[in-house]
Amino acid sequence: MRHEQLADEALARVVSAAGLEVPDSRQAWEWRLQCALPWPVFDGYRRRRDACFAAAEDAGDVARSASVNDEFFAFVSTHPDLCRHFAAGRLGYYDALLAKVADRVRGAPHARILDLGSFAGLSTLYLGAAFPGSRVVGVERHQGAVAVAEDARRRTGIANVSFACADYAEFDAGPFDAVVSLQAMPAYLIPWLPSERPEDYSRGSNADAALGAPDATVLAVERAAAAVRRLLAAGGRAVLHERVVGLARALFFHRLLARAGLEVSDIRWADWHSVSQRDVVQSFPLVVATASGGAARADEAAIIALYSLPPSGPDLAGLPDAHAVTYSDFQAHAAFAALPASRDEVGIRMGLADGRRMHGYFGVADGRWAYIYRCDTCDERKLSVGHRNIAPALFRTGLDELGRLMATGQPVHCDPPFDTFRYRVRKHFKVKD
């Protein structure tokens, strides 16, 4: 990729002035990295990068995630050439994100802008170039990265930017009109919480409990959110793009922001890919939050709407005659909610050994549509729906499936007992063996 291949011309100018090469491909970038670095440095980089990927896949071990991430950036920052190359590997990210970030900053006062976790300084320099009348500060905890950023600042001649070496949670040069954080909060520590009820996505009382007795992971994210709020001037605006994976974590992240006094006013998907990140397209929400006086309101509905498809009903008229159609996840949730309200239904509640709670419904809507709906507190949902005439076959298959689940020993609690439920379904809907 040459500079002119960056979609964002303003970014291309900053990158060219900073003397960075734009990688053509992941292979070319890795090859250049390997050629430019002494072997122990390249090898150390590769081992730490693989440890980060492995920890991200094994999201259960959050403490390991935190330490390998910290260690990775500490290592990259101690080697200026590696730091510059790694920044070049992130250009796909900057190309996809920075114009959107600048748009959000532009929409409100922005005389003083702070970029948290500024690494090699490219996002900070971009903001400096985009807002020449503003003062832009990048804060980064690794001195080596700050030195690389300062060198890039000298090369670009962007005079309204400065860098500080500090932990942003202790940085006290504020307040700022805009605080930007691009993957600089420890979002990988956000705990995964089950939903309050199988039918809903809301984390409600489960989030209350996690906030009432916060563990070390919750405290670490809270510390970052509190720093953003503390550094924001009254009426200021935070622009955040963090690696928040999945709806459950997004809902809890927004509770943490609200508790810190940050009210989310806008949230949209922002896709990106970069050669330093396995080059797959990734998508995380770009969030705008404003500073509120005390604790802010967390609007779960807005987050759920962002993660789910627009609720649309199943095409009942277009259902095939002889078999059911199955919806899963968010589509199942929306389709179940949109079934006709007149329902003749038999339900079962199960508690599973892994702590999940699952509800199952076998029913007929409007006398015409037979359905089975299963949902649990881990956001797993499945709706099978067909014409009334297939009810016996559909329900027989559904009972067999539940019977197999019972046989695994996973359900530790059933209300009513499974045999009673099976008897009711068979009798009520005239299901024969």
Ligand X SMILES: C[S@@+](CC[C@H](N)C(=O)[O-])C[C@H]1O[C@@H](n2cnc3c(N)ncnc32)[C@H](O)[C@@H]1O
* Residue 285 binds ligand X (CB under 6 A): no
Shortest Å distance, C-beta 313 to ligand X? 41
Shortest Å distance, C-beta 75 to ligand X? 11
343-352 and 357-365: which strand pairing? antiparallel
* Residue 203 binds ligand X (CB under 6 A): no
Helices H, strands E: what count in the chain?
15, 13
Considering only the stretches 140-148, 190-198, 259-267, 304-312, report the one whose residues sit in contact with ligand X under the rule CB under 6 A. 140-148
* Residue 188 binds ligand X (CB under 6 A): no
Q: What is the token pair recorded at 218?
A: 């919750």
Pick between residue 168 and residue 361 the one whose CB is nearest to ligand X: 168
Cα separations in angstroms, 262 against 138, 166, 231, 304, 318: 21, 23, 12, 18, 46
Q: What is the distance between the alpha carbons of residues 158 and 102, in angstroms, rounded to a whole number?
A: 16
Pick between residue 62 and residue 332 the one whose CB is nearest to ligand X: 62
Q: What is the distance between the alpha carbons of residues 322 and 107, in angstroms, rounded to a whole number?
A: 55
Shortest Å distance, C-beta 76 to ligand X? 8
Give the list of residues 6+ apart from residue 349 with CB closer than 8 angstroms, or none: 357, 358, 359, 414, 415
Residue in 169, 393, 406, 414 binding ligand X, rule: CB under 6 A: 169
Shortest Å distance, C-beta 319 to ligand X? 47
CA-based nearest residue to 127, from 149, 103, 107, 143: 103
Considering only the stretches 14-22, 51-59, 181-189, 304-312, report the one whose residues sit in contact with ligand X under the rule CB under 6 A. 181-189
* Residue 33 binds ligand X (CB under 6 A): no
What residue number has its CB nearest to ligand X? Answer: 117
Considering only the stretches 25-33, 135-143, 274-282, 294-302, report the one whose residues sit in contact with ligand X under the rule CB under 6 A. 135-143
* Residue 167 binds ligand X (CB under 6 A): yes
112-116 and 135-140: which strand pairing? parallel
What's 108's DSSP letter?
S
* Residue 146 binds ligand X (CB under 6 A): no
Contacts with ligand X, 73-92, as mask; x by CB under 6 A: x----------------x--
* Residue 242 binds ligand X (CB under 6 A): no
* Residue 65 binds ligand X (CB under 6 A): no
Phi-psi domain of 243 (left: phi exceeds 0; alpha: psi -120 through 50; beta: other): beta
Give me the helix-helix angle, 80-89 and 62-77, nearest 10°.
120
Phi, psi for residue 225 in degrees, rounded to 5: -65, -40
For ligand X, the binding residues in 106-125 under the rule CB under 6 A are 117, 119, 123
Burial of 15 (0-12, 13-18, 19+ CB in 10 A): buried
Pick between residue 119 and residue 362 the one whose CB is nearest to ligand X: 119
Residue in 14, 145, 267, 352 binding ligand X, rule: CB under 6 A: 145
* Residue 20 binds ligand X (CB under 6 A): no
Q: Which residues of 103-125 are buried (b: 16+ CB within 10 A; e: fewer)?
A: ebbeeeebebbbbbbbbbbbbbb
Residues in contact with ligand X by the rule CB under 6 A: 73, 90, 117, 119, 123, 139-142, 145, 167-169, 182-184
